[in-house]
Amino acid sequence: MTERSIIHMDLDAFFVSVERTKSKKLIGIPLIIGGSSRRGVVAACSYEARKFGVHSAMPMYLAMQLCPDAKVISGDMEAYSQFSHLVTEIISDKAPAFEKASIDEFYIDATGMDRFFGTFKWAIELQKKIEKESKLPISMALSVNKLVSKVATAEFKPNAQKQIVAGDEKNFLGPLAIDKIPMVGKQTASFLYDMGVRTVATLREMPQQFLISAFGKNGISLWNKAHGIDNSPVISYSEQKSISTESTFDQDTIDVKRLKSILIAMVEKVAFQLREQKKLTSCIAVKIRYSNFDTESKQIHISYTSSDYTILRVVQELFDKLYNRRMLIRLVGVRLSNLVHGNHQISLFDDTVEDINLYEAMDFIKHKHGVEKLIRATTLDVNKRVRMEMNMFKGKISKNLIN
């Protein structure tokens, strides 16, 4: 059986690099991109700022305490999307099969290319072509699977050029800290630390059944990753145009309160899908269909986001403008379009630490138990006491599940 050859490419400090192509004055200085207010969050930072301990998702006030001389800019998601598209086009023109994992991250399946020329040499040539045509630095690693290539890219950034030869996966992963492995977040790492498990080599010694007991089905994945096993395919890239949902009622209704509750549930659904796919939207549309089958819709362009709160506010405003006939309604729908890839859970530049903690906690519950298991109390026909209990529950989640 032919060994797979999977290349992982990751643009170095992508947002920062784009800003530096726009202004040479930013080169070489500590640079932070994110919300400018004290309660804002770091979306990205330069390597110069990282030396002071600054990192993404850090509260802006703390970042400025660590690196008071850093320059802070709000960021330009449209420019980031354009540069991402440029790099995507370069890879698309050369790669036999590739997957765009996020706005700045790509996988290439180069299996079989060694029959014609060296795969690693080809990968380096592609890396140089991207750097020449986009003016952006990019790291690259090659191995037999996506997992090992991704970890190697991160380990040797910036300007990484690394090959983990077939059979050497365990030797490479063994000395690394467990939080270097994708899917090992703060909670999982803390749990393992408490048991004295700090390196991947030690994690490999854990019986698979124990990990399954501790982490459920994720325990199998964790065991496989510790052993350098990853059979996931490179999924051919195709740009999704929109995310949408709609509901047709069994009986036409004029109950505005009910209609708005349904729209809230729809927003929670599509916004969660957006974050699961690591995407952001800048165009929101609402559609209604009356009992006589007349269909009307309105849309609006906004700054890129995947925040429930932001999308919901816009959806409610559009519905209020749209529903003016006071006729029975048989269908309502919500569509998010102008999608771009983005790694951040919610709005890149405007949300607070509290917002991020809450959304991450809610997404954690939805991902583990299903999107329908955690919904806003206003979407339920419940009394005030139950709504208060739901809000208290959300508060406990944001405090206890997110470190």
Q: What count of Cα atoms within 13 Å lies in the side-chain half-sphere of residue 4?
A: 20
Residue whose C-alpha is closest to residue 46's, from 32, 57, 67, 63: 32
Residue 317 falls in the annotated catalytic set: no
Beta sheet of 138-143, edge-to-edge order? 98-102, 105-109, 6-11, 138-143, 161-163
Q: How far is Cα 384 from Cα 267, in angstroms, rounded to an integer?
A: 22
For 269, left (φ over 0), alpha (ψ -120 to 50), or beta? alpha
Which pairing describes strands 295-305 and 279-290: parallel, antiparallel, or unpaired? antiparallel
Secondary structure class of 329 (helix, strand, coil): strand
- Sign of the C-alpha dihedral, residues 102, 19, 41, 65? positive
19, 48, 99, 105: the catalytic one is: 105
- The distance of Cα 335 from the centroid of its chain, to the nearest Å, equals 19
Three-class DSSP category at 243: strand
Which residue is associated with the tokens 């009910």? 258
Q: Give which of 49, 66, 61 is closest to 15, Cα–Cα.
A: 49
Strands (E), 54-160: 71-73, 98-102, 105-109, 138-143
DSSP result, 45-62: E-HHHHTTT--TT-BHHH
- As a whole number of angstroms, the distance between CA 26 and CA 71 comes to 8
Catalytic residues: 105
